Structure 1
Amino acid sequence: MNNLLKLATITISGAFSLANFAFFSNSVKAENQFDVCLRELTASGVTVEDAQTGCADALVPRELSSCVTNISQSTSISAKDALTSCYQVRRPVDLGNCVVSINNTVLTASNKNTQAKVEGDNSQSPLMMALSTCQASLLPTRQSECVIALSRTPQASNPVKAMETCLSAEDFPRDLFPSYN
């Protein structure tokens, strides 16, 4: 009889556990990646219309909103500018990490994000250049690692020059390996 009582107690508590699991599973499933994307983009300051368009068109909406959130919360770049850039790349999460890494490690750490505008382009700050070079790079993680490393050397402490050098290095280095025709 005592074993039967234990079995009944285990069965009843197991049933309650399953009921709780089913309830919480359904409430989590009710919010899909499009819901998350819309919520995160609008919370970042993107208009509802732009958020709807961006999330609907994104291949992986959650990655798009993660990119925008990362950039807009960790830098002074607006959510609208971040959305435009994150929307136009294959690897939005990598783009966000690239911009934030360059900003935190190179620009903010050395107070170079407040310097004068980029030479030859009066409209672009070093931070906006970080956004555009990370966006232009096929491998944003490589871009940020390269910029960080080049900026650590005393001879190349100019972050703008480091961003340009790293981005141009992604092309095949024809100067080092000339073709013989």
Structure 2
Amino acid sequence: MVHFLTSVTHRQCLAIPFALITGLTTSMVILSAPQAIANDFESCASRLIGAGIAGPDAAGACGQALYPIDLASCTVDVIGVAEVDAEQALVACQSDRRPQELATCVSDIHQGLEVANSTAVLNNCRSSVLPVRFSDCVVGVATAASLAVADSMSQCIAAGYRPEDVAPTFIFSR
């Protein structure tokens, strides 16, 4: 019995420092999280203001964003490659559920093809459910078929899955 009591005491002595260290570390992580989130919003607002968005508009957009860094990156990237207004790019990035993919779509089309109407590219990328796949389609179709950018965008945005012969084969027809 004496051996049992000493082993319990020894285990308790090891558990107390471990619990103290864990408790202190957890509180530091919890306290530093709001600062990291606040920095995301600050970074978003300052990048949007630097891109030419008015201060109140930038603050409102970043305040409403779930991922403010993605919103700012999307807006700055779209402005960098396309000839669109900063407000237009901001509205497009705000309304898209995948802002990083929207920026990738716009930049891929602009880098791969000669684009005459950047607004149409931005609107089509925003309308697409899968923007990166859409940009691959536009660049591939325009290059292979020697189509204009507008024609290839209209072909790719209209593309869809059209099932044929969807009737089940296990049901006998009468």
**TM-score with structure 2 setting the length:** 0.71
Which of 154, 158, 167 is the aligned partner of 1:164? 154
Output one character per residue of 1:6-38: Cα deviation in whole Å (capped at 9) or x when no partner.
xxxxxxxxxxxxxxxxxxx9xx95961101100
Decide whether the 8 Å contact of 1:156 with 1:162 is kept in 2.
no
Paired letter, 1:33: D
Q: Provide the rounded CA distance (Å) in 2 between the counterparts of 1:59 and 1:165.
A: 33
Pair 1:130 & 2:121 matched:
yes
Unaligned runs of 5+ in 2: 1-31, 169-174
Provide the aligned length of Structure 1 versus Structure 2. 135
| Number of the residue aligned with 1:87 | 94
Residues 1-181 of structure 1 aligned to structure 2 (within 5 Å): 29=36, 32-107=39-114, 112-113=115-116, 126-153=117-144, 155-169=145-159, 171-174=160-163, 177=164, 179-180=166-167
Decide whether the 8 Å contact of 1:86 with 1:95 is kept in 2.
yes
**TM-score with structure 1 setting the length:** 0.68
Q: Provide the rounded CA distance (Å) in 2 between the counterparts of 1:166 and 1:49.
A: 37
Paired letter, 2:156: C
CA RMSD after TM alignment: 2.1
Larger radius of gyration: 2
Unaligned runs of 5+ in 1: 1-24, 114-125
Task: Name the SS of the counterpart of 2:162 in structure 1.
Answer: coil
Decide whether the 8 Å contact of 1:34 with 1:56 is kept in 2.
yes
Task: Considering fraction of residues, name the structure with more helix.
Answer: 2
Q: Provide the rounded CA distance (Å) in 2 between the counterparts of 1:178 and 1:45.
A: 53
Q: Provide the rounded CA distance (Å) in 2 between the counterparts of 1:40 and 1:158.
A: 34
Q: How far 1:172 sits from its partner (Å)?
A: 2.3
Q: Provide the rounded CA distance (Å) in 2 between the counterparts of 1:69 and 1:51.
A: 12
